[in-house]
Amino acid sequence: MTVIDANRMNEIEARYPEYFHRSFRQRFGGLMILVATLLYSLYAVWFFDLPKLFAEAHWERVGIYLSQWVSYDVQPEFRIADDGSIDIRYPRFSPLGDNPHPDWLVNNPDGSITVSISGTNRTVTVSKSQTIVSAHGISVPVDVSSGAPKVVGPAPGWMTVYDDNVLADLGFAGNVSISVDRVKIRKRFIGWANFIFDTQSSFFDKPVGEVVGLIVSGPRIKPDQSNLSLAFDDIWNNSEWQHGDVWTKLFQTIVMAFLGTLLGSLTAFPLAFMAARNITPNRLLNQILKRFFDFLRSVDMLIWALFLTRAFGPGPLAGSGAIFLTETGTLGKLYSEGLENIDNKPREGIKSTGAQPVLVHRYGIMPQIVPVIVSQTLYQWESNVRGATIIGAVGAGGIGLKLWEAMRTNANWENVAYMVILILIVVFIFDAASNALRHRLMGTKTH
């Protein structure tokens, strides 16, 4: 054990005063930052009234939207006539087609109709005088023979009674709405209905084996068109899922991002040389260009898209222009800052040989700045694929507009899920391609 005397201690304190005589900021800086962050968080909770916001939020809609992302529903309506007959009707554009005969709907000998909502556990039997809802291990009759529907016996918790209507909530499986003259049933199925062939297709509702057989060796459905071509046309022009339009809009989004980023980088590159103080000694020109970059960046891409859609009309041209303006400012700033941080020794060495300015830039500057240019440009390109989706929602074209139209209906959430998944796949692919290209150009290995 080594003992340090007072003189040695004083010598160490004099040599390292920053460790033994720390300022108030050094001693309590971390604690002050922690306290300031806590206070700001409390202020944000008060300012935005987060408790009230969370209390009044419609959290039940989250489950509804998510369930509609992964499922579809069929909504048969049973109209009870005065003579006791029951007429079955389906909404227009039903997933089951124009003349459905589902196996989960059974006509009973006594004239009633039984609908299986979820296997044998949840069923609804509709007759002239009453509707019986069976769920959660009990059967609840609802009398519809009088002026208003009336639950026979106590109503369970999953059934709500109104003046002229009784609503039975059967969870994810669906629900039942019962009134005197009609019963509406919503039956939910996992999956996306008619994703391949819609109800108008010649291949609709055929087994997979039969469809493959028709495409490979079956007789022609249309004499002037092969079955393979017909199947492709039916898929591409699917009236419900609109694959052709969705994929075309997705391609427009990719082109918008690529074109806007490319034009922005080509414009920002020469301007960055004039904005860099160590390359162009004209201070006035440096400041003008840097403020120009700031102006282009300060106006968000979404705002540029709004301006350009008013000027040129909705479409991909406005979207490409918005990305171009934003990227000119962003990449111009990044390029100029990269140029100002280069090592001037290689540049000065080449300049001392009497080389022309173009050669000085080519051999003294470009080898140092290329990694920065490549990395930042590829990152912005990848980011703009996502940005192009957002600006599409304001009329700039691409899949963003298609996505917004599907969301506005508040009913086509499975179509929303389809487009969101496509966007995610494209972003993942571009992220991987961007990383691979960046590492390849910069000569580094990927892990």
Same domain (yes/no): 176, 314: no
> Which of 157, 190, 223 finishes a domain?
190
In degrees, to the nearest 5, what angle opens at C-alpha 158 toward C-alphas 156 and 164? 85
CATH of the domain at 368: 1.10.3720.10
Query: CB-based contacts of 278: which residues, under 8 Å, 6+ apart?
Result: 339, 340, 342, 344
Residue 359 located in a structural domain:
yes
Distance from C-alpha of 389 to C-alpha of 368, rounded to nearest angstrom: 34
- pLDDT reported for residue 231: 92
Give the pTM. Answer: 0.79
Same domain (yes/no): 250, 110: no
Same domain (yes/no): 273, 379: yes
Q: Are the C-beta atoms of residues 280 and 274 closer than 8 Å to each other?
A: yes
Confidence of residue 404 (pLDDT cuts 50, 70, 90): confident
Name which of 6-10, 29-33, 318-322 the model is least confident about: 6-10
- pLDDT reported for residue 101: 84
Same domain (yes/no): 280, 397: yes
Q: How many domains does the chain have?
A: 2
Residue 316 located in a structural domain:
yes
Same domain (yes/no): 257, 381: yes
Same domain (yes/no): 280, 426: yes
Residue 418 located in a structural domain:
yes
Q: Render pLDDT for 43-54 as a digit per residue (tens, 0 to 9).
A: 999 998 889 888
Residue 201 located in a structural domain:
no
Residue 413 located in a structural domain:
yes
- pLDDT reported for residue 445: 57
Q: Render pLDDT for 146-203 as a digit per residue (tens, 0 to 9).
A: 778 899 888 899 999 998 899 999 888 889 999 988 999 999 999 898 999 988 888 8
- pLDDT reported for residue 432: 86
- pLDDT reported for residue 322: 92
Residue type, 114: T
Same domain (yes/no): 160, 248: no
Same domain (yes/no): 251, 393: yes
> Which of 190, 216, 234 finishes a domain?
190
Tokens of 67: 């369930």
> Per-residue pLDDT for 379 more than 60?
yes
> Which of 160, 190, 220 finishes a domain?
190
Same domain (yes/no): 377, 280: yes
Q: Render pLDDT for 223-256 as a digit per residue (tens, 0 to 9).
A: 888 999 999 999 999 988 999 999 999 999 999 9
Same domain (yes/no): 185, 250: no
Distance from C-alpha of 114 to C-alpha of 124, rounded to nearest angstrom: 6
- pLDDT reported for residue 443: 65
Confidence of residue 444 (pLDDT cuts 50, 70, 90): low
- pLDDT reported for residue 42: 94
Confidence of residue 281 (pLDDT cuts 50, 70, 90): confident
Residue 10 located in a structural domain:
no
Task: Give the structural domain span for 125.
Answer: 75-190
Same domain (yes/no): 181, 258: no
Same domain (yes/no): 294, 386: yes
Residue 68 located in a structural domain:
no
Average pLDDT, the chain: 86
Residue 62 located in a structural domain:
no
> Per-residue pLDDT for 283 more than 80?
yes
Confidence of residue 325 (pLDDT cuts 50, 70, 90): very high
Averaged pLDDT for residues 368-393: 85
Averaged pLDDT for residues 60-86: 86
> Per-residue pLDDT for 99 more than 90?
no
